[in-house]
Amino acid sequence: MYRESGKHGSEGGRRVIHYYKGQPLPTLRQNGSDEESNLLTLCKTCHDALHAGEITLKSKGKKKGNLKHATQMNSIRLQLLKRVEAEETFGFITKEHRQLAGLPKEHCFDAAMIATRGMMPTLRVTTVLAKRCFPDGDYQQTKGRHSEQRVTTGKIRGFRKFDKVRYQGQEYFIKGRMSTGYAILMDLDGKKVDLKPIPKFEQMTRVSARTSWMMEQRPLPEIVSQEEQHTERKGVAAIHPRS
């Protein structure tokens, strides 16, 4: 930026971006954040004087978090693009393609738009496979205000936490267990299923044992065009007019 306003006017010359100088120095090279709140616009005169130690800043910057995993994934991404026949795309491109196709915001539709490179996909399936990752072990070992109660991590009447079970014709996952023979069930999203009376182990059958990946088939989300969404919103507004 070339501005002549400021403390030094035209004498200050070119404007530059400086990372806040705190203790220790959180510059970009020293694990500093490149967020807007950690940047400061200075004229070149002040910027040179700052690095020469002639002036100091009153404000301190902030450090960013550990980017080790992000760096690792970025390195893997670059190597994959070099080794396989793949094209790189970005979320804003996929979003625009999906909106032009009139598809709602769903992961499966985003994947379809990426696969067709922005062309309108022909969907020949009626279900999608939903997956969720769960920990291998039970890391909560105790409960209570002072962690005075031990939590059973093994099997209770043949069932473990996160086992997939069938109860009253529906498939659920075990969220919690009681030594008295009852279980709290949840869906794949981790939401508790409000069932009354509380299900008993003897009334359910195990579909599969717990694994790191839980999966279930779901109906393909309904496709509602943007015009239909706009019409529906107008209808709601007409029903509930502003006072």
Q: Tell me what pLDDT residue 25 has.
A: 40
Q: How far is CA 12 from CA 58, 59, 145, in A?
A: 20, 21, 62
Greater confidence (162 vs 228) lies with 162
User: Please, which pLDDT band fits residue 66 given cuts at 50, 70 and 90?
Assistant: low
Residue 191 predicted with pLDDT over 50: yes
Please tell me what DSSP assigns to residue 217: E
Q: What is the pLDDT of residues 111-146, one digit of tens each?
A: 999 999 989 888 888 898 888 887 766 666 677 777
Mean of the per-residue pLDDT values of the chain = 75
Both tokens of 36, joined, read 């807007």
What is the rounded average pLDDT of the residues 46-65? 73
- What is the helix (H) or strand (E) element at residue 219, kind and residue range? strand 213-219
Instruction: Classify 20 as helix, strand or coil.
Output: coil
What is the rounded average pLDDT of the residues 205-215? 85
Q: Tell me what pLDDT residue 185 has.
A: 94
Q: Tell me what pLDDT residue 36 has.
A: 60
Residue 53 predicted with pLDDT over 60: yes
Look at 15-24, 40-49, 111-120 and tell me which has the smallest mean pLDDT: 15-24
Residue 154 predicted with pLDDT over 80: no
The number of C-alpha atoms within 13 Å of 241 and in the hemisphere containing its C-beta is: 2
Q: Tell me what pLDDT residue 43 has.
A: 79
